[in-house]
Amino acid sequence: MPETDAPLVTVAIPTFRRPDWLRQAIDSARAQTVRDVEILVSDSDGSPEIEDLVADYGDPRLRYRSNEGPTDGLQNALAMYRDCRGRFVATLHDDDFWDPTYLEVMLAPLQAQDDILLSFADHWVVDAEGRVLPAETEATTAERGRSRLAAGRIQPFVRECMVDRAVFFVVATVFRNGAMDWDDVPAEVSPPYEVWLTWLASRDGAAAWYVPDRLSYYRLHGASAAHSTRLEVPQVHTFDRVLADPRLGDLRPEVLRASAPSAPAWRGRCWWRATPRTPAVSCATHGPPGPAVPWCWAWRCRCSRAASAPGWSPASGPSAPTAA
């Protein structure tokens, strides 16, 4: 929670062994037109190199923190968010960067309307060298439903979070400090924990504000691609938790469809989900579950022809499958 004499906003920068990109992130935070900021660098590795890098700036707005020992991304992020002192919080990953007016634009609706929980925006996609990738940017904007959004207030914004995935929590969002329940973030949702964070922010019917401007830069690089292959089981856990929550209401069928994995890595892994009421069964198209995929959820998989067959259900399948 922010203190009485808290800065207006904390720029929360989680980092892990990327000093060169971290410098660019810090430089973009220091260059903001909003000057009443705390820049909190949270080091997952506790590296003396990173601590010295922060200290060398000599900027009293900069603060370095580390954990008692090596942590994963989620543990570091939660410790970081709990340590933020600002009235508002903006996440800036160590490999991303901002336009100088980012905070000014994103904070305006939050300061004007006290009941808005967060503001979110579109963003640029850049390569490892920081060059804008126009085609990838436009594709991401369209895929995430932001091309259809009008600027302004959205309430509730669950559909934008859980169906369209328009709210990129750790790249282009500023939120009100104290509004998030950091104790309700299970370890199983990471990575990518930002999907669960958008659910925490939206599930109780709060208001958000959409900014169509692209003032943040999301970097694609080798580590990003490698990261994408680690998302399968956490995605299942996240959406299982969300789908079981009665607060989802009438949006459940849409979220069920949107939760289906569509990445190429999933194709050929179309297992039907095992639940207490639905025994694990072979997918009629792709065969039985195997050890490579511990969670089976092909009953909501878009890449399976079976899922679109008339009369299909997770319990029966489109044709008589063989029990696994």
Q: pLDDT (tens digit, 9 = 90+) per residue, 238-283?
A: 999 999 999 999 999 999 988 875 433 333 333 333 333 333 333 3
Q: What percentage of the chain has pLDDT greater than the value 70?
A: 76
Nearest CA-CA partner of 146 in 177, 125, 117:
125
Average pLDDT in the 174-180 region? 97
Q: pLDDT (tens digit, 9 = 90+) per residue, 117-154?
A: 999 999 999 999 999 999 999 999 999 999 999 999 99
Q: What average pLDDT does the chain have?
A: 82
Angle 60-66-69 from CA coordinates, rounded to 5°: 165
Residue 260 is predicted with a pLDDT of 74
Is the per-residue pLDDT at 40 higher than 80?
Answer: yes
CA–centroid distance for 171 within its chain: 8
Provide the 10 A C-beta neighbour count for residue 77.
Answer: 24
Average pLDDT in the 165-193 region? 94
Q: pLDDT (tens digit, 9 = 90+) per residue, 21-33?
A: 999 999 999 999 9
Better-scored residue on pLDDT, 304 or 221: 221
* Backbone φ and ψ of 210, nearest 5°: -100, 130
Contacts of 217 (CB under 8 A, 6+ apart): 96, 97, 98, 99, 123, 124, 125, 126, 130, 132
Contacts of 222 (CB under 8 A, 6+ apart): 128
Q: pLDDT (tens digit, 9 = 90+) per residue, 87-104?
A: 999 999 999 999 999 999
Nearest CA-CA partner of 314 in 267, 280, 289:
280
Better-scored residue on pLDDT, 2 or 289: 2
Q: 186-203 burial, b for 16+ CB within 10 Å, e for fewer?
A: eeebbbbbbbbbbbbbbb
